[in-house]
Structure 1
Amino acid sequence: MTVEAISSTSNIQTGTPVRKPVQSLDSDVFMKLLVTQLKYQDPGAPMDTNQMMAQSVQLSMMEKMTELSTGAKESFSLQMRTAAAQIVGSEVTFARPDGTSGTGVATSVSFALGVPLVEVNGQKIPLDSISGISMPAAP
């Protein structure tokens, strides 16, 4: 009797791989659906060409909307980085995790994570926690 190894992606009862559900409808899935629809259509009553054109237009619109969304995300990320870089040398007011506020001069910025981290008084402060910016007092 052989015993099959059970991996984290297999069904414990049957030993068959468990399929992960697709959470988004991309162009590949759309094309697979269209090809399957054409493959199993009734030869006596083929698919209406108007429906096929409408589905092609929907695919094109979906791809353009995805491109637009990606572009908007990239633009927002660039704006956050630019804003964070311009803060360096300025006095900032920020909210601490405990709800109190703090102030200090921004000395550097880190872009390692999704939200830029501004270093103030040795603390790494997320950009979205900064509530005010002013020029430091002249010495």
Structure 2
Amino acid sequence: MTAINATSTAAATDSTHTAATKATNTASLTNPKASMDKDGFLKLFVAQLTHQDPTSPMDTNDSIAQMASFSMVEGVNNLQSTNVQIASALSTSSAVGLIGRTVSYVDDKGDLQTGKVDRVSTTKDGQAHLTVGGKPGIDPSKIAEVSA
């Protein structure tokens, strides 16, 4: 009887491991730049719960620890999103401060151009672009010098 339980436990462990591996592989295929996003983590957790051995369920402490990790991943993702929004707002604010000033910038050909900043516009993703001397679409990071 002990040998049968050990065999079924090993099979359940292999099943859980296989499901976890499939969930991890799926997460890495859908988002190759991240080690695991919140969706991948949740899929892995659900796969573990689905394929666990009913006679030997997951320890409650392990379950709570995994859910705490999930909450932490979610919080880090929210923090990252907020930081991107703040950086975009700071970039736009800095660009607005250039209106009316004369700037020198490096154009697409690598030549230094000089002109007065006429206006600032933002793209759909929040990136600021300047109109300098009537030429729109100047990236503020290309500015080499600012004068009054």
TM over 0.5: yes
Selected match of 1:87 from 98, 110, 114: 98
Q: In the TM superposition, what is the alpha-carbon distance from 1:57 to its structure 2 partner?
A: 1.2
Q: In the TM superposition, what is the alpha-carbon distance from 1:55 to its structure 2 partner?
A: 0.7
Corresponding residue number in structure 2 for 1:45:
56
Mapped to 1, the partners of 2:59 and 2:124 lie a distance apart of: 50
Q: Single out whichever of 25-34 and 51-60 deviates more from structure 2.
A: 25-34
Q: TM-score, normalization: structure 2?
A: 0.70
Q: In the TM superposition, what is the alpha-carbon distance from 1:131 to its structure 2 partner?
A: 1.8
Corresponding residue number in structure 1 for 2:6:
none
Deviation beyond 4 Å, 4+ runs, structure 1? none
Selected match of 1:122 from 121, 124, 134: 134
Corresponding residue number in structure 2 for 1:106:
117
Q: In the TM superposition, what is the alpha-carbon distance from 1:50 to its structure 2 partner?
A: 2.0
Corresponding residue number in structure 2 for 1:96:
107
Q: In the TM superposition, what is the alpha-carbon distance from 1:29 to its structure 2 partner?
A: 3.7
* Correspondence 1:1-139 to 2 at 5 A: 21-23=29-31, 25-112=36-123, 114=125, 115-124=127-136, 125-135=138-148
| Counterpart secondary structure, 1:45 | coil
Q: Single out whichever of 101-110 and 68-77 deviates more from structure 2.
A: 101-110
Q: TM-score, normalization: structure 1?
A: 0.74
Mapped to 1, the partners of 2:52 and 2:124 lie a distance apart of: 49
Mapped to 2, the partners of 1:113 and 1:29 lie a distance apart of: 28
Aligned length: 117
Mapped to 2, the partners of 1:22 and 1:81 lie a distance apart of: 32
Give % identity: 31
Mapped to 2, the partners of 1:32 and 1:97 lie a distance apart of: 45
What are structure 2's unaligned runs of at least 5 residues?
1-25
Q: In the TM superposition, what is the alpha-carbon distance from 1:112 to its structure 2 partner?
A: 2.7
Q: In the TM superposition, what is the alpha-carbon distance from 1:91 to its structure 2 partner?
A: 0.7
| Counterpart secondary structure, 2:100 | coil
